[in-house]
Amino acid sequence: MQTLTVPQGEFKLARYPYRAKEQLRAWDAADEYLLHHLHDEGLPAQNAAMLILNDDSGALATALAPHHPQALSDSYLTHQATLANLQHNDRAPDDIRLLHSLAEPTGPLDLILCKIPKSLAFLEDLLYRIRPHLHAGTPLIGAGMARNIHTSTLELFERIIGPTRTSLAQKKARLIFSTYDNALDPGPSPYPTQYALENTEHTLISHANVFSRERLDIGTRLLLEHLPASDKQRTIVDLCCGNGIIGLVAAMRNPQAELAFADESFMAVASANANFQAAFGRTRKVSFIVGDGLADAAKKNAELILCNPPFHQQQAVDNAVPWRLFQQSHAALKKGGELWVVGNRHLDHHVKLKRIFGHCETVASNRKFVVLRAKK
């Protein structure tokens, strides 16, 4: 746990899940820049209705908790980090109102703070969602590392919210100031998007923050070509499910199987749910889990887990993420159950799997990706 010192106070903060030897901070220079700016400008005003968007680990929400903000995020891990950091700093959990990314904030809003997300599509979706809750006096302040703020970023604010300018850089961070233009008509939101699943009659929808939202990615395509098929009754888990494409195809090839879809993204699980229901209606037994992978799943219950794991958490590269997912999978599998993983060759997932399962087999590979199988 590390200490953030800003004009609002000193705060002990940690990422979630907590690791004793964590090297990554729970905040960045953009958080510091924004909190200093708010203090200098006397913001937020007393009793202002404030919304915080995409607060990575709850640093902003913790520092501003006395103002009772709403905090909207697509990440279950961000929600848990925020609650933990409030507790670390003797803040009450009801000091803030946590919202998932498809929820409507309570408006009208008097101040919007937005950490710039990695996904331009997600930012676009967020701006469309908040615009109806703004009024002429609502400041919208974005914050991000300069490397993540591009001309296209500013164009989104200009097109959806109104006139926009940026600050000078401090510690490689910048602020974005956008003024609400009531006369502006940005048109309808383009989200969720959809594409036809090749060689099937199905169309997949994806909310804005879903991985490979517009097309089938190369790694998933390789895994789909080799998915096992069976008429047996068994439990199959699509871990890090995204829009649910892997679990959907697995359900087609395993007609007696019970499916579970798990992801830490609220938008991902909502997309997977919509796609599965469109394909099967209520004819199949299925569950949907928004959480920290399979941390809270039943132990020794699954026969097959399929996973295209991320190697980052929010914007930070975090090689501990696949380790945690593979360990959770080992605990969730029955004896004889299998974990199938697809990933870039350079990530060396086989090393992790051998340490956890004792062995690892290559199912398929191409120049960039490899499909691995480990049996418990």
Confidence at residue 290, expressed as pLDDT on a 0 to 100 scale: 97
**What's the confidence (pLDDT) of residue 313?**
52
Strand, coil or helix: what is 350? helix
Question: Residue ranges of the domains in the chain?
Answer: 2-179, 211-375
CB 131 within 8 A of CB 157: no
Task: Report how far residue 209's alpha carbon sits from residue 117's, in angstroms, rounded to the nearest whole number.
Answer: 9
Crossing angle for the helix pair 266-280 and 245-253, nearest 10 degrees? Answer: 30
Kindly state the tokens that stand for 246.
């892997």
CA angle 31, 32, 36 (to 5 degrees): 120
Quote the Cα angle for 100-121-181, to 5°.
85
Class of domain 211-375: alpha beta
Class of domain 2-179: alpha beta
Across-strand partners of 261? 238, 288
Distance in angstroms (rounded) separating the CA atoms of residues 143 and 166: 10
For residue 312, the model assigns a pLDDT of 52
CA pair distance 161, 307, nearest whole angstrom: 38
Whole-angstrom Cα distance, residue 121 to residue 14?
28
SS3 60: helix
Q: Is 177 exposed, middle or buried (0-12, 13-18, 19+ CB in 10 A)?
A: middle
Question: Same fold for the domain at 2-179 and the one at 211-375?
Answer: yes
Please list the pLDDT of the chain residue by residue as tens digits (376 residues): 899 999 999 999 999 998 887 888 999 999 999 999 999 999 999 999 999 999 999 999 999 999 999 999 999 999 999 999 999 999 999 999 999 999 999 989 999 999 999 999 999 999 999 999 999 989 999 999 999 999 999 999 999 999 999 999 999 999 999 999 999 999 999 999 999 988 788 899 999 999 988 888 999 999 999 999 999 999 999 999 999 999 999 999 999 999 999 999 999 999 999 999 999 998 899 999 999 999 988 888 999 999 999 865 555 555 788 999 999 999 999 999 999 999 998 888 999 999 999 999 999 999 999 999 999 9
